[in-house]
Amino acid sequence: MKIYGKEIPADLEFPELDKQTKSEIDELHAQMLRDEQRRAEFRERHKDWCSQSLTSEEVWQHMHPGAGPRPAPSVNVDALRKFSPRLRAIFAYIYREEITY
């Protein structure tokens, strides 16, 4: 199993989540997408004012001066080991599109 291309040791357990937890995560994600759509519509309606706002890349550069471009996503296996099995399962479910076998 790999997450963001990083090999995850076989001894690291990722149990299956129950349907209710998956449903709650999916609903939260759907709400986040709806919120982002509303923000995009707001930016479109207020182009003149919003054109002065920073992009996420500009925010990164402001917070990390001289750091260069934002690094690619990665995963910290040592940090995952500190998570409970349930929290690792939630993490794996949220990032399921980034997992390869």
Integer CA distances (angstroms), 69 to 54, 66, 74, 98, in order = 15, 9, 15, 21
CA–CA distance from 19 to each of 25, 43, 76 (Å)? 10, 36, 27
Which pair of structure tokens corresponds to residue 49?
A: 């004012």
Residue extents of the structural domains in the chain: 13-96
- Which residue in 49, 47, 67 sits closest to 57, CA to CA? 67
**Residue pLDDT, tens place only, 45-99:** 887 776 667 777 888 888 888 888 888 899 999 999 999 999 999 999 999 999 9
For 15-54, how does the pLDDT look when each residue is reduced to its tens digit (9 = 90+)?
999 999 999 999 999 999 999 899 888 878 887 776 667 7
For residue 83 the two structure tokens come to 């998570």
54 and 62 Cβ atoms separated by less than 8 Å:
yes
